[in-house]
Chain A
């Protein structure tokens, strides 16, 4: 037996290992709810026993083994229903065939891919997918997830219960999708991860810590996916995108909570190590004949992160990347970003031409960033009266106080 593991260390172990352990127990017992309860009870036993008796040589296998036994006990107590006794029989048989060896760590199979794809199955409502992924893979408590997404704990608990109920009743299979469906299903998984990231990334400094920590949880999920699907390029792109955005996080707002534009940010406040990792991942993602949208967005973020000073930014390359992205995901917001890149590369007139094209089609009329971008280009050209008009339009539409403050500042600048 190893040395005693302190309570705090067990909690770290829980967060790190919950996904892997739960994924294996679900495979063993064939039921989400049963597995989750059993794993919870097993960890409770660990918290009680390990500080006293010392940490087992293979803590992961210990938890899985204890969880399986607790699941069997629970099934025995519920053996009224026909389906239950089938599960029970199967479990006892596999127990007989060979208990999980406590000698080798890799005796606990890594079923996290099945877990991820099940949690993010399109037959589940997306908010349920998010809750389930955070609960099972990140080990967040129901309470933590509720606070992170600003809903009452009872609501979040219900959401999870319904999701597990649907998985069982509709028989959502616990497996990695076939090759034919893999691309679509991967898209769904990455959408969930990116949603969680943005939820966390957009949380202001005043929000609860757990909300801001969502970005970190999303990155953790992104890393798991990259680890499990290393040969797929897009997960690398998603991870890169999240790492690169998050690396700039501390520089985005000043001490008063005001917005600091990319070009004005103190680049020494960017997280160097994370940028290095992000650049590497972006490189991997782009190393493919047809880079996907996450890869391209990551490459764009990489260009910004690479520049030691704003004036070193390769806007030509960024404009090219936006063009590539538009071919993949034609949408007016991407086109707007393209317009800004073109403006920085070839001059504001060229950028305004593209904005005019967007306006002609009637797109983005209520999108404050469209008006802010147009205003900025006009401002740089010295067309201040027109700029003011567009800033005012943006102010009407802006969603957050930091953004409104920024726009008010600009208005006073151009009208003086």
Chain B
């Protein structure tokens, strides 16, 4: 059975410097462990909510707004992890997803610096080129 584990942080309580390094080390250890046990599928740190962009399509018009999805009615229902050259390309993809038409798609950049670190230390594989 597959599960998605969604990580929520309080930006006011976010770690930095030494404390952050310690947390990342714990993540690396955890990732190695569940890779060994065959349970690991994928993971990423995301850039903060301030870097999010929300896409909605209403009356065939693509609406782009700054920030995470905000409608309190809406709830997380699914995800895509995609490769896109830049934000405009990502917006183009998001607009094609059906939920954009009656809900919203939040575009959140992956934290590539952290991913790079994990790849360099062999904690995870880099994505194979197709």
Docked CA distance A170–B51 (Å): 6
Tell whether A170 pairs with B116 under 8 Å between CB atoms, given A123-B53, A123-B87, A124-B66. no
Contact A125 B67 (CB under 8 A): yes
Tell me, yes or no, whether A122 is within 8 Å of chain B by CB. Answer: yes
Give the residues from 26 to 74 in chain B that come closer than 8 angstroms, CB to CB, to chain A: 47-48, 50-53, 64-67
Contact A172 B112 (CB under 8 A): no
Tell me, yes or no, whether A361 is within 8 Å of chain B by CB. Answer: no
- Segment from A48-56, A161-169, A269-277, A302-310 that makes contact with B: A161-169
Contact B109 A128 (CB under 8 A): no
Docked CA distance A128–B66 (Å): 10
Tell me, yes or no, whether A109 is within 8 Å of chain B by CB. Answer: no
Docked CA distance A162–B50 (Å): 8
| Chain B 61-97: CB-based contact to A (< 8 A → 1; otherwise 0) | 0001111000000000000000001111001000000
Contact B112 A165 (CB under 8 A): no
| Nearest A residue (CB) for B117 | A82
Chain B contacts for A173, CB-based, 8 A: 85-88
Contact B50 A171 (CB under 8 A): no
Give the residues from 89 to 124 in chain A that come closer than 8 angstroms, CB to CB, to chain B: 121-124
Tell me, yes or no, whether A177 is within 8 Å of chain B by CB. Answer: yes
Contact A125 B88 (CB under 8 A): no
Docked CA distance A89–B96 (Å): 37
Tell me, yes or no, whether A83 is within 8 Å of chain B by CB. Answer: yes
Tell whether A170 pairs with B67 under 8 Å between CB atoms, given A162-B50, A165-B50, A165-B51. no
Contact A122 B64 (CB under 8 A): yes
Category for how many chain A residues contact B: 10 to 19
Contact A172 B87 (CB under 8 A): yes
Contact A83 B113 (CB under 8 A): yes
Total contacting residues, chain B, CB less than 8 A: 21
Instruction: Give the contacting residue for A177; candidates B51, B52, B66, B88; CB below 8 A.
Output: B88
Cβ of B57 to closest chain A Cβ, rounded Å:
13
| Chain A 180-218: CB-based contact to B (< 8 A → 1; otherwise 0) | 010000000000000000000000000000000000000
Contact A83 B112 (CB under 8 A): yes
Contact A166 B51 (CB under 8 A): yes
Docked CA distance A172–B65 (Å): 13
Instruction: Give the contacting residue for B116; candidates A82, A165, A171, A177; CB below 8 A.
Output: A82
Cβ of A210 to closest chain B Cβ, rounded Å:
26
Tell whether A171 pairs with B86 under 8 Å between CB atoms, given A82-B116, A83-B112, A125-B67. yes
Contact A166 B86 (CB under 8 A): no
Tell me, yes or no, whether B107 is within 8 Å of chain A by CB. Answer: yes
Contact A170 B47 (CB under 8 A): yes
Instruction: Give the contacting residue for B87; candidates A82, A83, A165, A170; CB below 8 A.
Output: A170
| Chain A 114-140: CB-based contact to B (< 8 A → 1; otherwise 0) | 000000011111001000000000000
| Nearest A residue (CB) for B110 | A169
Cβ of B63 to closest chain A Cβ, rounded Å:
8
Docked CA distance A365–B59 (Å): 29
Docked CA distance A166–B113 (Å): 15
Chain A contacts for B120, CB-based, 8 A: 82
Docked CA distance A123–B48 (Å): 14
Docked CA distance A50–B99 (Å): 59
Contact B109 A169 (CB under 8 A): yes
| Nearest B residue (CB) for A174 | B86
Cβ of A121 to closest chain B Cβ, rounded Å:
8
Tell whether A172 pairs with B64 under 8 Å between CB atoms, given A81-B113, A162-B50. no
Cβ of B91 to closest chain A Cβ, rounded Å:
8
Chain A contacts for B109, CB-based, 8 A: 169-171
Docked CA distance A124–B50 (Å): 10
Contact A172 B113 (CB under 8 A): no
Cβ of B25 to closest chain A Cβ, rounded Å:
18
Tell whether A122 pairs with B51 under 8 Å between CB atoms, given A169-B109, A170-B87. no
Chain B contacts for A172, CB-based, 8 A: 86-88
| Chain B 100-113: CB-based contact to A (< 8 A → 1; otherwise 0) | 00000001010011
Docked CA distance A46–B19 (Å): 42
Docked CA distance A124–B64 (Å): 9
Contact B65 A122 (CB under 8 A): yes
Contact A170 B53 (CB under 8 A): yes
Cβ of A337 to closest chain B Cβ, rounded Å:
27
| Nearest A residue (CB) for B46 | A169
Q: 8 nearest interchain CB pairs? A: A173-B86, A122-B64, A123-B53, A169-B51, A125-B66, A169-B47, A171-B86, A170-B87
Could you write out 22 A-B pairs with CB less than 8 Å apart? Answer: A82-B113, A82-B116, A83-B112, A83-B113, A122-B66, A123-B64, A123-B66, A123-B87, A125-B66, A166-B51, A166-B66, A169-B51, A169-B109, A170-B52, A170-B87, A170-B107, A171-B85, A171-B86, A172-B86, A173-B86, A173-B87, A177-B88
| Chain A residues packing against B (C-beta within 8 Å) | 81-83, 121-125, 128, 162, 165-166, 169-173, 177, 181
